[in-house]
A and B are shown apart, each in its own frame.
Chain A
Amino acid sequence: MNPLVQLHWRQWEDEWLVFERASGRTHQMNSLSAFVAMSLENGESSLDALVDQVSGQFDLADSAQTRIAVLAVVRQFEDLGLVIALEA
């Protein structure tokens, strides 16, 4: 996670909105995006570990598809400036 990022969360069932203080932007997230963002916020910096956590959290068997989905979310976060770089 970008060290300048401070996230503030709101959740209603499986919907999330997150406010990023430095940019003042509000992002709407689904369960997967929110979980990835929270994991990164908690200090997770390894893509492999992130994929494992997501697989466990959402009970996903297909690790290849999970990795693709997680990578897509991480790329989106990179575009938004929320993430700098992840270890492979």
Chain B
Amino acid sequence: MIVSALPPGGVDDRLRADGLVIRTGPFNFRIDSPIRSVAEGVALLYADYPMADDSEFVDFSVTIGHGSGLHRWFRPQARFIYDGDSPFEPLPANHAHPLLEWAMNWCISSQAHQYLILHAAVIEHSGGAVVLPAPPGSGKSTLCAGLIHRGWRLMSDELAMISLYDGCIVPLARPVSLKNESIDIIRRYVPGAVLSRETPDTSKGTVAHLKVPAEQVRRANEPAVPRWVVFPRYVAGAPPRLTPRPKADSMFELARNAFNYSLLGLTGFEVLGDVITSCDCYDFEYSELDDAVATFDRLATAHP
């Protein structure tokens, strides 16, 4: 049963009662929250995600609660609560839904060490995955959001999860986080795109989350073999330019941006080394999404 099958108000009821357990990729998240904007965000963005039944194991239990003490009413806040602790500082109450998304990312990146987890977006075409590592502001989420509406499948917009067992990339397929100008860029590029309410004044600026196409959510249990590593960089007005990048340098940069490479030690080194060996590595400079789509499509068809 998927979330949208709940009756009107059903998401809010569940979040306030025993919690709503949603499956995203390999993880079951139980979400609790008395905050209406969280329920609205979940009902909108997770409408197509399966709900786990009562017999299934819950990997992470996430509560987005009201602020404590005076901050329940005065300058109201939202808090992320996990295992009785608050790993983050409280945020303004109107940041409650983005806080849920960040909390879910934190749960995975801090604990799912059965995967090597890179700070990267991942998209897939014809069974081959492109890993898109990039620091914040490089445009990777905008690029990701555009490509998944032009024939590419979303695997993740933030966390590339590489199986330690077979080196495949495991999808999460969670809503894509967009910031500032990229929100309007995607609204124009994808007419009819479903976006959450915009949340201004966050630490990342104004954020909104893009709903993942339903057919891609349905494929969130299909891993993919990594075939390309592409380091994107948005440069205003720049023509598209894809240039080969040395493998050792690429691996070094991926390791630097991994959440748990150091924790995994030699295993992380060997798994990442295998990924780099099997991938073609590039730098990619672009300014127009259509240019990016054409470049990535050529990549996929030239090296299936």
Chain A residues at the B interface, C-beta cutoff of 8 Å:
8, 10, 12, 15-17, 19, 21, 24, 26, 28
Contacts and interface: CB of A to CB of B under 8 A. Distances in A.
A12 B276 contact: yes
Given A21-B265, A21-B266, 9 more contacts: A8-B266, A8-B270, A12-B276, A16-B248, A17-B248, A17-B252, A26-B255, A28-B249, A28-B252
Interface residues of B, number: 15
Contacts of A21: 265-266
Q: Taking chain A's interface residues, is the majority helix, strand, or loop, or is none over half, making it mixed?
A: strand
Given A24-B262, A26-B255, A15 B248 contact: yes
B276 A8 contact: no
B219 interface: no
Given A15-B246, A17-B273, A10 B266 contact: no
B248 A19 contact: no
Nearest to A27: B252
Contacts of A17: 248, 251-252, 269, 273
Interface centre among B251, B262, B270, B277 (most CB of A within 10 A): B251
A10 B270 CA distance: 8
B125 to A, nearest CB: 24
Nearest to B251: A17
B247 interface: yes
A24 B265 contact: yes
Contacts of A10: 248, 251, 269, 273, 276-277
Nearest to B265: A24
Nearest to B252: A28
Interface string B248-270: 11011001000000100110011
Q: Which 8 pairs between the two chains have the least Cβ-Cβ distance?
A: A15-B248, A19-B269, A12-B247, A10-B273, A17-B248, A28-B252, A28-B248, A15-B246
Nearest to A26: B255
Given A17-B251, A17-B252, A21-B265, A12 B277 contact: yes
A77 to B, nearest CB: 18
B116 to A, nearest CB: 13
Nearest to A18: B269
B45 to A, nearest CB: 37
B22 to A, nearest CB: 36
A52 B273 CA distance: 32
B180 to A, nearest CB: 34
A35 B246 CA distance: 19
A13 to B, nearest CB: 8
A56 to B, nearest CB: 25
A12 B265 CA distance: 21
Nearest to A19: B269
A10 B266 CA distance: 12
A19 B266 contact: yes
